[in-house]
């Protein structure tokens, strides 16, 4: 288990996202950025790219800067560790109401706070509705294979 995965083990946001299944939470995004950076360097891509159509206009310094940034910062600590989008309407609301999962909230059916998650929000809401009465641990066990994405 990676350091990132260990940090978010057994965590789920109030929105129902199981942190280890999310590529930002598991560290998969940061790891792949680091690997890509290494491949670019090991395969000397900036050296030969100008001889391949379109390669001459790529700013490899900017690409390297972006990948370096992703490797360091494109990792989510999980809501329970103070991570996640700072302005997440779901987390703010659930905290104010004292729910660790929105499945405990009587207003879940009509809640519009999931809209910013678009189609994932619709899916997560359905999973939370199906999991009413379950503890966070039971929810994680039941839904870990059904997340809208794979890490």
Q: What is the binding site for ligand SF4 (CB under 6 A)?
A: 14, 90, 93-94, 97, 99, 102, 105, 107-108, 111, 113
Query: Residue holding tokens 């309407």?
Result: 89
Backbone angles phi, psi at 99, to 5 degrees: -105, 130
Q: How far is the CB of 119 from ligand SF4 (least distance, A)?
A: 17
Q: How far is the CB of 103 from ligand SF4 (least distance, A)?
A: 8
Q: How far is the CB of 104 from ligand SF4 (least distance, A)?
A: 8
Q: Which is nearer to ligand SF4, 74 or 79 (CB)?
A: 79
Q: Which is nearer to ligand SF4, 107 or 138 (CB)?
A: 107
Give dist(CA 105, CA 111) in Å, integer.
Answer: 10
Q: Which is nearer to ligand SF4, 70 or 147 (CB)?
A: 147
Backbone angles phi, psi at 139, to 5 degrees: -60, -45
**Chain CA centroid to CA 145, Å:** 15
Give dist(CA 148, CA 127) in Å, integer.
Answer: 10
Q: How far is the CB of 13 from ligand SF4 (least distance, A)?
A: 10
Question: Following DSSP, what letter does each residue of 79-105 receive, concatenated?
Answer: GGGT-S-TT-HHHHHHHHHT-SSGGG-
Q: Which is nearer to ligand SF4, 68 or 107 (CB)?
A: 107
């Amino acid at each position: 288990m990676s350091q990132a995965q260990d940090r978010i083990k057994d965590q789920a946001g109030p929105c129902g996202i199981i942190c280890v299944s999310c590529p930002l939470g598991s560290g998969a995004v940061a790891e792949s950025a680091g690997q890509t950076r290494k491949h670019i360097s090991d395969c000397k891509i900036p050296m030969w790219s100008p001889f391949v159509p379109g390669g001459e206009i790529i700013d490899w310094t900017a690409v390297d800067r972006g990948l370096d940034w992703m490797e360091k910062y494109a990792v989510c600590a999980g809501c329970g560790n103070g991570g996640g989008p700072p302005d997440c309407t779901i987390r703010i609301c659930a905290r104010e109401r004292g729910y660790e999962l929105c499945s405990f909230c009587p207003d879940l059916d009509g809640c519009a706070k999931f809209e910013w998650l678009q189609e994932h929000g619709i899916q997560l809401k359905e999973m939370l509705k199906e999991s009413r009465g379950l503890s966070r641990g039971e929810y994680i066990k039941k839904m870990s294979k059904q997340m809208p994405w794979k890490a």
